[in-house]
């Protein structure tokens, strides 16, 4: 339900504000000729956030209806993206990008495996070469480094 | 005075016309147009994910490249609006109203031409105004002490908070989130480590570029993946390309009004291109003797907003170049990029880095001409690119954006951070929390806090300097007005007359 989602968002904002405020209060109070110190500004931010989040949770802002919920496809993409990011340092950019493009396009509706693998292989190689060779931006190659990739 | 400006301009043109920078301007315009053309990648996200292109370049070249992407995207957005009824970026939404109708009548060519010519005229006049107004404003800003700087930033953040979204409270949550993110890391004056939760990587704080890519680019793709159709888009036929003299003369007034309006709206923090294009459309419709033609393929309905968003792009550079204050998501990304090449935007920019400031201005004249020449012949190419199915386009954009994220610090953790921020951005979009204030809060948070602390340090803990300076008072009053006024006006029922 729409209001439900809005409330959850507002409650999260409240919690973030409160947690942040708590962390700010717990900070050591050091000031070197500086009346404000490192704590006060964050404390104010945390306080405002908590109050605002609370007010939004109690009385959601008027606005257009927004119906949503991440579809399985988008969750899949998020998960895939997380895995991709996690794997890049080990697996290297070219290999991981190849796998990411292949699985990603499949996830978003590409039906032919042949096209999936073919286009992914070409595009991952192209992107990798464009950045590393043409634009001189180093990217991790992972264990492919041993095979001269 | 004027001779001075001329000498500086010549210096700027000299930098902009060097073969290397000419190439970067060209590359920027080309890539920017592509970003503008592709729905799903806005200028802020697009610029952020292409920041790696600037690594190891001279600061002047870096900003010339990025600025090319910026106004290239403004040009490119119109193409898809006209041909496909799909705005490539938010500022081109109004262009769809009359642009697509023109295309359906077989007048896609004239619509594209007037968009390109209007953008060219507006862009050129916009740079001219930027050049004339920038340096004196910067000199005035040099007199600002920490108290005035603090007030200025409060004003800037209020504008953005107020104008970015429909709800003031949600806008404030976004701003606070950005400010809170800005406090993460080592507190420079005291060396205290704040809010890192034991993660060593966070000691340096959040990187603007990583946050911008995650929040804008990644979340945009996630939203689009939700809504995407199965195939690429189908374009209306191009028809005749050239504009008749009558069309041009008819549109000239709209172009000029759009240019001036757009520029000054662009200068205001937070308003920028989207407001500029919507407002200029409304103005044209009001002024027209045949308002009923609008929405049915009126050429002025294309000319005005497309001019306005380009001159707004120039106007938006004013606060950045003269005050060191990024006032929109795009200029916040530019700010982050400048920091990465070792240039801190401030009122001293024109003095300390004349190559950057004047090189940028020079390159914008050049870039506008380039875009005018590039735009029309390449329309066919853009239409072909748009036929790329989304299922391929989206993963590829994500793969490229990860190059951007990774190359900032070569830190694997940034990749996860960008993913998390992408999900956060997705939910914020869905719940109507505006994203621009987050990035601005992040960029300005540190400056805001330091300005406040310096003020209090000088005054020995008294808040009086903040209310004693007339500049501060005016800025605080303005901040109050912008927070309250839009709600008041909306309640009175005065709304932009845009039928969706």
In terms of Cα–Cα distance, which of B255, B307, B299, B303 is closest to B276? B307
The ipTM of this complex is 0.90
Tell me the pTM.
0.84
Give the pLDDT of residue B229. Answer: 55
With CB atoms and an 8 Å threshold, state whether A73 touches B225.
yes
Q: Name A101's Cβ contacts closer than 8 Å, sequence gap at least 6.
A: A119, A120, A123, A124, B392, B395, B396, B399
In terms of Cα–Cα distance, which of A34, A20, A38 is closest to B186? A38
Out of A74, A100, A131, the one facing B395 most closely (by C-beta) is A100
Give the pLDDT of residue A45. Answer: 95
Give the pLDDT of residue A149. Answer: 40
Out of B180, B399, B453, the one facing A127 most closely (by C-beta) is B399
Q: What share of chain A is helix, strand, coil (3-state, %, to 5)?
A: 75, 0, 25
Out of A6, A32, A46, the one facing B189 most closely (by C-beta) is A32
**Which residues between 7 and 46 in chain A have a beta carbon less than 8 angstroms from any beta carbon of chain B?**
9, 13, 16-17, 20, 23-24, 27-28, 30-38, 41-42, 45-46
Angstroms from B391 CA to nearest CA on chain A: 5
Per-residue pLDDT of chain B (500 residues; tens, 9 = 90+): 456 878 888 888 888 888 988 898 888 888 888 888 776 677 888 888 788 778 778 888 888 888 888 888 888 878 877 887 777 667 777 888 888 888 888 788 888 888 888 888 998 898 888 888 888 888 888 888 889 889 988 988 888 788 777 788 999 999 999 999 999 998 888 888 888 888 888 888 898 888 888 888 888 888 878 776 544 556 666 666 677 888 888 888 889 998 998 888 888 776 567 778 888 888 888 888 888 888 888 888 888 988 988 888 888 888 888 888 887 888 888 888 888 888 888 888 888 888 888 888 888 888 888 888 877 777 777 777 777 787 888 888 888 888 888 888 888 889 999 999 999 998 898 888 888 889 888 988 888 998 998 898 888 888 888 888 898 999 999 989 888 877 666 555 444 444 33
Give the pLDDT of residue A83. Answer: 93
Give the pLDDT of residue B224. Answer: 78
In terms of Cα–Cα distance, which of A10, A7, A28 is closest to A18? A10
Give the pLDDT of residue B344. Answer: 86
Q: What share of chain B is helix, strand, coil (3-state, %, to 5)?
A: 75, 0, 20
Mutate to test the interface with B, among A10, A29, A35, A67 (most CBs of B within 10 A): A35
Chain B residues within an 8 Å CB radius of A139: 403, 406-407
Give B172's Cβ-side CA count (13 Å radius): 21
Angstroms from B107 CA to nearest CA on chain A: 35
Domain chopping of chain A, boundaries? 1-69, 71-149
With CB atoms and an 8 Å threshold, state whether A74 touches B433.
no
A34-46 tens-digit pLDDT: 778 888 899 999 9
With CB atoms and an 8 Å threshold, state whether A137 touches B457.
no
With CB atoms and an 8 Å threshold, state whether B189 touches A20.
no
How far apart are alpha carbons B500 and B479 in whole angstroms?
31
What is the token pair recorded at B353?
């880095």
β-partners of residue B186 are B193
What is the token pair recorded at B241?
């390309």
Q: Specify the residue for token string 């040009």.
A: B75
With CB atoms and an 8 Å threshold, state whether B190 touches A38.
yes
Reduced to 3 states, what is the DSSP secondary structure of residue B193? strand
């Amino acid at each position: 339900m729409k209001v439900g989602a809005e409330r959850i968002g507002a409650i999260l904002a409240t919690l973030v504000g409160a947690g942040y405020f708590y962390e700010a209060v717990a900070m050591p109070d050091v000031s070197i000729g500086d009346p404000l110190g490192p704590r006060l500004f964050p404390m104010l931010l945390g306080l405002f956030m908590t109050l605002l989040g609370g007010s939004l949770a109690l009385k959601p802002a008027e606005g257009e209806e927004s119906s949503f919920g991440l579809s399985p496809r988008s969750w899949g993409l998020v998960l895939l993206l997380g895995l991709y990011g996690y794997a890049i340092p080990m697996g290297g950019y070219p290999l991981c990008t190849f796998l990411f493009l292949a699985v990603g396009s499949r996830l978003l509706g590409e039906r032919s495996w042949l096209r999936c693998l073919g286009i992914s292989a070409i595009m991952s190689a192209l992107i990798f070469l464009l950045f590393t060779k043409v634009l001189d931006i180093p990217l991790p190659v992972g264990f492919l480094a041993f095979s001269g990739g | 005075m004027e001779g001075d400006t001329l000498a500086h301009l010549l210096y700027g043109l000299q930098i902009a016309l060097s073969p290397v920078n000419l190439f970067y301007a060209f590359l920027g315009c080309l890539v920017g147009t592509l970003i503008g053309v592709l729905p799903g990648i806005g200028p802020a996200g697009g610029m952020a994910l292409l920041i790696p292109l600037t690594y190891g370049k001279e600061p002047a070249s870096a900003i010339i490249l990025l600025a090319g992407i910026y106004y290239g995207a403004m040009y490119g957005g119109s193409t898809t609006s006209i041909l496909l009824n799909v705005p490539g970026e938010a500022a081109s939404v109004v262009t769809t109203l009359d642009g697509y109708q023109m295309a359906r009548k077989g007048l896609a060519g004239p619509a594209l031409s007037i968009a390109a010519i209007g953008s060219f005229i507006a862009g050129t006049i916009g740079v001219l105004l930027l050049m004339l107004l920038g340096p004196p404003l910067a000199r005035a800003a040099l007199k600002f002490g920490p108290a005035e700087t603090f007030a200025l930033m409060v004003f800037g953040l209020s504008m953005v908070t107020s104008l970015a979204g429909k709800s003031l409270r949600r806008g404030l949550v976004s701003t606070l989130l950005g400010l809170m993110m800005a406090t993460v890391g080592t507190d420079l004056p005291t060396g205290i480590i704040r809010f890192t939760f034991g993660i060593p990587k966070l000691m340096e704080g959040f990187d603007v570029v990583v946050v911008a890519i995650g929040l804008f680019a990644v979340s945009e793709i996630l939203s689009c993946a939700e809504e995407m159709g199965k195939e690429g888009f189908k374009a209306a036929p191009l028809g005749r390309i050239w504009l008749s003299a009558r069309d041009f003369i008819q549109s000239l007034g709209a172009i000029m009004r759009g240019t001036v309006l757009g520029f000054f709206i662009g200068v205001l923090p937070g308003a920028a291109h989207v407001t500029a294009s919507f407002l200029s459309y409304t103005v044209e419709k009001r002024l027209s003797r045949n308002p009923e033609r609008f929405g049915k393929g009126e050429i002025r309905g294309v000319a005005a907003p497309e001019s306005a968003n380009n001159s707004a792009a120039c106007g938006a550079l004013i606060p950045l170049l003269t005050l060191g204050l990024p006032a929109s998501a795009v200029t916040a990304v530019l700010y982050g990029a400048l920091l990465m090449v070792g240039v801190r935007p401030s009122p001293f920019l024109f003095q300390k880095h004349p190559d950057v400031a004047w090189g940028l201005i020079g390159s914008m004249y050049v870039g506008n001409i380039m875009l005018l020449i590039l735009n029309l012949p390449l329309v066919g190419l853009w239409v072909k690119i748009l036929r790329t199915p989304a299922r391929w386009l989206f993963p590829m954009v994500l793969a490229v954006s990860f190059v951007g994220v990774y190359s900032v610090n070569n830190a694997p953790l940034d990749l996860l951070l960008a993913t998390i921020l992408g999900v956060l951005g997705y939910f914020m979009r869905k719940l109507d929390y505006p994203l621009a204030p987050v990035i601005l809060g992040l960029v300005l948070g540190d400056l805001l806090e330091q300005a406040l602390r310096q003020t209090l340090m000088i005054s020995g803990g008294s808040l009086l300097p903040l209310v004693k300076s007339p500049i501060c008072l005016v800025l605080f009053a303005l901040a109050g007005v912008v927070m309250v006024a839009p709600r008041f006006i909306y309640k009175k029922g005065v709304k932009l007359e845009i039928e969706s």
